[in-house]
Structure 1
């Protein structure tokens, strides 16, 4: 079992879906978790749920589309041993109706915020000679569709940043990896699809979509000692995803 006792983890977008599962899993493994989100009520509920199972967590609210808020989040989180860049926006639509404001929002939350957090927090990890950064990417970076180009483009960029940061900080003891989920059973995905995610079951070899906890288990592996030689890798977690054209 992975033991994260004595380590502090910051998980962005932790009040729902994959982020919530990751925060809970890290806390169960002994980490002190800084839970990030925008909704204070959901943040307080998660902190309470973690405490109810004997874990330790605190909530910090921040709008990741704001440079100043991201700076404040990093400052309030303080030195961390684990950073999970999970928060993201995804508005799936054709390119002609994707406004500049939507493009800017995707770039700010999906790229600039992780970049700021790594730039601020990774040097401290490097000074201490140890750390783990996990970027939650997406299989849409490779499995393209006729809609959602701006989202897919930002996730492809995050994969590239993962490899650059792994090279930049790896020699100082900081490992940087990514996890690329396929369709996962989350409230956000149900909202995007306009209904239950089970309609996507036929698109995986497992015959079902993933659960957030299954993504969290891979994140836990990547931040623990059992993956000590894994760096600059993006692990796809999609149950054997196939093209929508094959359905």
Structure 2
């Protein structure tokens, strides 16, 4: 295995935005490790990348607590000859419901996947990147963190936490060559948003772009932050929302 080949770990990498990121990074010659729950989707993603000439592996992981994050980090390091150069914290869940309708289990599940998992993946991988003197971490947030939208108290607040953590991690690890940034998507068509497609269209219609994003468009922003094209970008939040937050 080529130890000089850059390696990216992408959580939630078997569908939607994560899969689009994996394909784009693989096309740039980066080895990708996709992590997700569904083994069938994981194998399909890896096969598609390999059939296109890229290098890819799949790790099945439910994620959701510190232990699962540590296990995933160790497995990824073992697969990549001892180093992860790019971490994309993309896995997430986005239930909707008024605050009084959400129970403690809902709270714990959302924050476990959306906040705790990225937190402990960074805790495992960022120090190794800093020791090496280089690395890139991209956190996938949401414009839901920018507004007081009825029904998204858990999702929006969890993404607000990620926005803050991005700044902290940039301050902690940036001096040692680790760039940490956030991509904040607006309404986006993916497999996971098919059930709320009407709401996505309605929200997107209010933006200057007048349409939702594709997964590939969000992935392009993530790929930009993952490469040296963004070498002087630290602690930033790149909003990719068709202009919703601009009006």
Query: TM-score by structure 1 length?
Result: 0.93
Q: Equivalent residue for 1:48?
A: 47
Identify which of 129, 132, 142 aligns with 2:133. Answer: 129
1:13 has 2:17 as partner: no
Checking the alignment, whether the CA contact within 8 Å between 1:205 and 1:242 is kept in structure 2 is no
- Structure 1 alignment gaps of length 5 or more: none
1:198 has 2:197 as partner: no
Checking the alignment, whether the CA contact within 8 Å between 1:63 and 1:70 is kept in structure 2 is no
Per-residue deviation, 1:194: 6.2
Aligned residue for 2:188, secondary structure, equals: coil
Change (3 A) 1:196 1:42: farther
1:143 has 2:147 as partner: yes
Q: Per-residue displacement from partner, 1:17-70 (whole Å, max 9, x unpaired)?
A: 111111111111111101000000000000000011100100001111143222
Q: Distance in 1 between matches of 2:221 and 2:198?
A: 27
Identify which of 212, 224, 229 aligns with 1:221. Answer: 224
Q: Distance in 2 between matches of 1:194 and 1:217?
A: 22
Query: TM-score by structure 2 length?
Result: 0.93
Q: Distance in 1 between matches of 2:197 and 2:85?
A: 38
Q: Distance in 2 between matches of 1:96 and 1:196?
A: 22
**Cα RMSD (Å):** 1.6
- Structure 2 alignment gaps of length 5 or more: 78-82
